[in-house]
Structures are given as C-alpha cells and as structure tokens.
Amino acid sequence: MAALADRPFVKMNGLGNEIVVLDLRDAPVPVPAEEARALARPDVLPFDQIMALYPPRAAGTDAFVRIINADGSEAGACGNGTRCIALYEAGRTGRDRLLFESVAGLLDCRIVPEGVTADMGVPRFGWQDIPLAEPFADTRAIELQIGPIDAPVLHSPSVVNVGNPHAIFWVDDVEAHDLGRFGPLLENHPIFPERANISLAQLVAPDHLKLKVWERGAGLTRACGSAACAAAVSAARTRRTGRNVRVTLPGGDLLIEWRASDDHILMTGPAAFEFEGRLTPAMLDAAASAA
C-alpha cells in the first residue's frame, strides 16, 4: 500500500503556482519522493509543490510544514505555498493570524484584504549561507555567465538565500531570453552545490520589477514567492529599487517589503482554493506504474 493512500488533499494555487496541501497532522507519514514525482504527472495531480502539514514542533505554531517539489526533492521555502496553507488554516480555524514552522524557520502569516501577508524571514547573503561552492566577497554580483566570454547572454547574477538558494540575472527584457533552455543548466551549475532557483529580473520602475523564474525542482513556473522576495531584496542591495516593490510574475503581482527595522521580508499576495479530493490507492497505483 502506498504511503499516501486514502489521504485527503486540497488543491490550491498562489498566482498560478500549483500547490497541493496534505494535512498529515492526525496521522503523520513521510511523503515518499517517488510518490510525489508520480502524483505530479500531468494526468494525475500536477503541482509545483506539496505543502505537507505535520504536528507542531515549536510552541505556539499551527504546524510543522515540509515542502516537497514536483521532482520529489525537499525545499526550505515556498512563498506561494505558505500563503496557501495560511488561507487553508484560516478557513479551518477562523483565525486571521497563523504561525508555521519549516526547516528554514518560523512563518508568521496574516490574512489581509489583499490575500495573505507572510513574513519570509531574514535573507542571507554570505557565500557559505547561500551556499556557493567557492568564496565570493560580494554576492550582489558573482562571476557566472552563459554564452561567449566576450558577449555573454546572461552574466553577473545577484545571489541570496531566502529559505532556498536564488540567483537573479538582471536583464533589459525578461521575454528576450529562453529561460526554459538555460534554466536546467544554471539550476545544476557546479557553483550551486544544493542547486538554485534561477530568475530573470527586469527593472520596470524604481518600485516595480518583472520576473520570470526557473524553480529548483519544479522548472518554469507562473509564480515563485521566494524568488520574488529574493529579487526584491537583491534589487534594493544593488540600488535598483527601494525596500518596497511590486513584483510582476506571469501569474500576477506580489507586494514585497524588506523591512528596515529588522530586515524581515514581508510578502503580500493572493491564494485560492481549486478543489479537494482523496489520494485513492487506484490513483497512486496508476501513477506508480507509469512513473
């Protein structure tokens, strides 16, 4: 019997970032990587991330959350998924303030008129914290390029850890580059020992960025909340913007504030329910046989 057989799920999305919420607090089981990969197939239950809720570990939290990518790997952060589980828990409890714990730390969420505001914590800029495979004194722009040495297609990304490793390449037009082609190469570049999320960022105005994201473990995505946070923080660090920006992704807009008082990143945006169901044995068996 598959580990997840007969478990209920809720399908949600944050700006088109497809999220499956598995509430495993009553009967915790691991989420096997092979079952996650099988379920993510287009003809089964396609998703970008599973947000698996487990019994709280820290006092005062609603759940410990594990974030599983479509390829079965585990992520440290998912901004869109965080907004989804906050809306899910708000609907279940009637509360407008929720607190979750992940491997990256505490996730403090508030239900607001615009959707959900999630505190994504403090960004980390040290090369060893991202992590990178070799030292860089200044992670606002590291030596990494795609294409000829004298005319690179992409070069000098800003890098930061926002629960996950992120690399942000600054371009004049995000639509002028085939991120689907370069994304897999850059995600798995040796400079990133834990792989990385790869973004193309375009400065639209001093308070507005446009972003396209190749998400580690998921591929091209309509939205990535942690990437929006990473791009906003990197834009402020490189003096492209201030600390409050609107980030436009293919799925829509996120509002990002890098709070000056404590360096916490606040992300505000919508989340939506799609449908709910149950992971039946037949569904999992069919998926496993085709995986």
The answer, yes or no, to whether residue 223 has pLDDT greater than 80, is yes
Residue 50 CA, chain-centre distance (Å), reads: 11
Concerning whether 84 is annotated as a catalytic residue, the answer is no
Q: Is position 229 annotated as part of the catalytic site?
A: no
Instruction: Return the minimum-mean-pLDDT range out of 70-79, 140-149, 195-204, 279-288.
Output: 279-288
Q: By the 8 A CB rule, do 258 and 267 touch?
A: no
Q: Does domain 7-121+271-290 have CATH number 3.10.450.50?
A: no
Residue 198's DSSP bridge partners are 167, 214
131-184: pLDDT as tens digits = 999 999 999 999 999 888 888 889 999 999 999 999 999 999 999 999 999 999
**pLDDT(282) > 80:** no
Helix (H) or strand (E) holding 222: none
Tell me which H or E stretch contains 27: none
Within 8 A by CB and 6+ apart from 24, the residues are: 7, 52, 53, 54
Task: Provide the mean pLDDT of the chain.
Answer: 94
C-alpha–C-alpha distance, residues 137 and 224, integer Å: 27
Whole-number percent of the chain with pLDDT over 70: 96
pLDDT in tens, 180-201: 999 999 999 999 999 999 999 9
Checking if the pLDDT of 265 tops 80, the result is: yes
Task: Indicate the CATH number of 145-263 among 1.10.1040.10, 3.10.310.10, 3.40.250.10, 3.40.50.300.
Answer: 3.10.310.10
Residue 186's pLDDT is 96
Name the segment(s) of the chain with CATH classification 3.10.310.10: 7-121+271-290, 145-263
Position 234 scores a pLDDT of: 98
Name the phi and psi angles at 17, rounded to 5. -75, 110
Mean pLDDT of the 203-221 span: 96
**283 — pLDDT class (breaks 50, 70, 90):** low
pLDDT-derived band at 227 (thresholds 50, 70, 90) equals: very high
Residue 52 binned pLDDT confidence (cut-offs 50, 70, 90): very high
pLDDT of the residue at 184 = 95
Please write down the HEC assignment for all residues of 50-80: EEEEECCCCCCCCEEEEEEECCCCEECCCHH
pLDDT at 285: 65
> Is it the case that residue 288 has pLDDT exceeding 60?
no
pLDDT band at 97 (very low <50, low <70, confident <90, very high): very high
Catalytic residue among 78, 84, 109, 229: 78
Model confidence at 286: pLDDT above 60? no
Q: Which helix (H) or strand (E) holds 38?
A: helix 33-39
What's the mean pLDDT in 196-218?
97
Q: Identify whether 131 is preceded by a cis peptide bond (ω within 30 of 0).
A: yes
